[in-house]
A and B are shown apart, each in its own frame.
Chain A
Amino acid sequence: MTPILTISHLTKRFDGVAALTDLSVSVAAGERVALLGHNGAGKSTLMKIILGLIPATEGSVTVCGAAPGSAEARDQVAYLPENAAFHPALTGLEQITHYLRLRGQDPAVATGLLDRVGLGHAARRRIGTYSKGMRQRVGLAQALIGRPRLMVLDEPTSGLDPVSRRDFYTLLDGMAADGTAILLSSHALTEVEARTDRILILSKGRLMATGSMADLRRAADLPVQMHLTAINGYATDIAAALPAAIRTGADLRLTCTQGEKLDLLARITDLRPKLADVEIVPPSLEDIYTHYSKRDGQ
């Protein structure tokens, strides 16, 4: 399948300072890709280049087979900026109607779009009276216009409460199932893990890692922690059997590499009669993220 978005050897410099360096990525139809990185890692710059708002210094970007920002590309790409802003004097309904007209779509579907993002009740109020979360929903509603082939979403869930976030990802799942490629940036690692197919980690303008969360977890090979709880009185026995464990009262803590994990579990299983509980704590998303984003010797 031909990818919707192809980026090859992209470099962007602002006055000689590199914002993005030799970045190559492609996103296929129906794929949900998350872009992670610190503030200033180059996420927004990358998005602006994909949208054709700023030119690349080197390398090439193709969006739906066209140059970024060309009329053909703009027809098929939807964008949700980080802080979606609109004219405060217009109502939500007027704003969405306007966006529909600009895309050559039927303005009558505006009410339906606002209902889909849960803004139906406020459609006739001015955007100036909206909360940040409501403005974000207006932004989302306009991004849904006309079945885009690529959605570029800059921190789409910032300002949304947990329930709205879940609704938002459900909407995205529907779009992806219909073949829309989705590229979104986020700071919320937990939601990104469950709701995207692939993760790109960007640090100082370089692509540090790419793959599903499971791939990244495996490749990072970060230590696994195990918490053992001994049955009363057996803590000493277990500590003797597992000399690497750190004991605090009846609890014991063990750290091992991914490769040692199964062998260690087998040894723990042998101690079954003396154990009340075993808990395995995989490296957290934050650990994995930190691992990749600091690989550059930070």
Chain B
Amino acid sequence: MIRRILATAHVEFRIALRNRWVAIAIALMVVFSLVLSAAGSAPTGQLGVDALSVTVASLTSLSVYLVPLVALLMSFDAVAGEVERGTLPLLLTYPAGRAELLAGKGLAHLSVLSLAVVAGYGAAAVAAFWTDPGAAEGLPALWRLTWTSVLLGATFLGAGYALSALSRRPSGAAGLAVGLWLGLIVLYDLGLLAAVVADKGGSFTEHVFPRLLLANPADAFRLFNLASAQATAAAAGVGGAAATLPLWQSALSIFLWPVAALALAVTAFRRVTP
């Protein structure tokens, strides 16, 4: 089983290389990270924290948009593309099971994403060390950001596979992926903000709002990184809410979501008739 998953991962990684996905993902993460760290290095003096911690806070806000986007872009074609190319029926007559096929694709795509995340954050870290010799203080926060970004990516890869299997056409899957990104990353927070403003500090803000933040993998990611970082004050938005929730809850959400998303993807893929 492991051998077949690795074989699929191997070939999928090669396809990602050929399709320039590896280059695109790395370039995207590096460029955005460097731009943010350049823009974010200004307030260091006033806050009295090291440059890397400030960079991590900025990178958290960046990754919450970029990592899910890159993950969805890489995954939406996974099943629908095989259906459209006509390669799926043959593949499904091979001894590899459907869960194994998805696991192999996931492994390859997650490697690409991890490479991009490490390259981007690495570049930002180098820039931080260059401007502030005391940046080593921020290293634990950077490490936390790195592995949570990979898990966030895994969640959205799984979601992308599920959408790909549900729509069975690449164009439909792309539309669903963009919709999911807009919904979970942009509109979800806007909706919560509107609800909190309307509630004026009532029971919604006290009890329901934190749960809803945990229920969204992107918000859980943001909560976890901002709550555990020393630079909470440097970030706006959900930072305030982060203080009220115990760290283990957002960590649990971060760990559970990839599992749930991949399980959903396998279930959806099993229902595809070639």
Listed in ascending order, the chain A residues whose CB lies under 8 Å from chain B are 48, 51-54, 71, 74-75, 77-81, 83-87, 89-90, 94, 98-99, 101-104, 139, 142
B38 at the interface (CB under 8 A from A): no
Please state if B4 and A102 are interface contacts (CB–CB under 8 Å): yes
**For window 92-112 of chain B, which residues contact chain A by CB distance below 8 Å?**
92-97
Assess whether B87 is in contact with A85, with CB atoms less than 8 Å apart. yes
User: With A85-B85, A89-B19, A101-B3 as given contacts, are A77 and B93 in contact (CB-CB < 8 Å)?
Assistant: yes
Query: Once bound together, how far apart are the Cα atoms of A216 and B130, in whole Å?
Result: 86
What total of chain B residues lie within 8 Å of the partner, measured CB to CB? Answer: 23
A102 to B96, Cβ gap below 8 A? yes
B15 contact from A77, A81, A87, Cβ within 8 A: A87
Looking across the interface, which residue of chain B has its beta carbon closest to that of A100?
Answer: B7
- Contact A86 B87, beta carbon cutoff 8 Å: yes
- Given A90-B11, A102-B8, the answer on whether A75 and B89 have CB atoms closer than 8 Å is no
Chain A interface mostly: mixed
Cβ of A71 and Cβ of B95 under 8 Å apart? yes
Residues of chain A lying within 8 A (CB to CB) of residue B7: 98, 101-102
Q: Which residue of A lies closest to B85 (CB)?
A: A85
CB-contacts of B1-46 with A (<8 A):
3-4, 7-8, 10-11, 14-15, 18-19
Given contacts A87-B85, A102-B4, A102-B7, contact A51 B93 (CB under 8 A): yes
User: Once the chains bind, are A79 and B90 in contact (CB under 8 Å)?
Assistant: yes
Given contacts A74-B93, A77-B93, A87-B85, 5 further A-B contacts (CB under 8 A): A51-B93, A81-B90, A84-B90, A102-B94, A139-B90
State whether B93 touches A79 (Cβ < 8 A): yes
Chain A residue numbers with a CB within 8 Å of B273 are 53-54
Q: Does B86 contact A (CB under 8 A)?
A: yes
Q: Are A94 and B95 in contact (CB under 8 A)?
A: no
* A81 vs B91: C-alpha distance when bound (angstroms): 10
Tell me the bound Cα distance from A102 to B2 in angstroms: 10
Q: Which one of B11, B14, B87, B94 contacts A74 once the chains associate, using CB atoms below 8 Å?
A: B94
A102: chain B residues within 8 A (beta carbon): 4, 7-8, 94-96
Known: A53-B273, A98-B7, A102-B8. A85 touches B93 (CB 8 A): no
Q: A26 to B93, alpha carbons, bound, how many Å? A: 20
Q: How far is the CB of A211 from chain B (nearest CB, A)?
A: 29
B274 at the interface (CB under 8 A from A): yes
Q: Given the complex of chains A and B, what is the CA–CA distance between A74 and B89 in angstroms?
A: 12
Q: Which of B8, B95, B97 has the most CB of A within 10 A?
A: B95
A85 lies within 8 A of B86 (CB): yes
CB distance from B50 to the nearest CB of A (A): 44
Query: Which of B4, B85, B86, B92 is close to A101, meaning CB atoms less than 8 Å apart?
Result: B4
CB distance from A93 to the nearest CB of B (A): 12
Is the CB–CB distance between A98 and B11 below 8 Å? yes
B61-118 residues with Cβ-Cβ distance < 8 A to A are 85-87, 89-90, 92-97
- Cβ contact within 8 Å between A53 and B87: no
Q: How far is the CB of A103 from chain B (nearest CB, A)?
A: 6
A53-B273, A90-B14 known; A103+B95 contact, CB < 8 A? yes
Residues from chain B with Cβ under 8 Å of A104 in the complex = 3-4, 95
User: B residues within 8 A CB of A80?
Assistant: 90
Is the Cβ of B85 less than 8 Å from the Cβ of A53? no
Which B-chain residue is minimally distant from A152 (CB atoms)? B93
Residue of A nearest to B81 (CB): A87
- Jot down 7 A-B pairs with beta carbons below 8 A, ordered by A: A53-B89, A85-B85, A90-B11, A90-B14, A90-B18, A102-B94, A142-B90
Name the A residues within 8 Å of B18 (CB-CB): 89-90
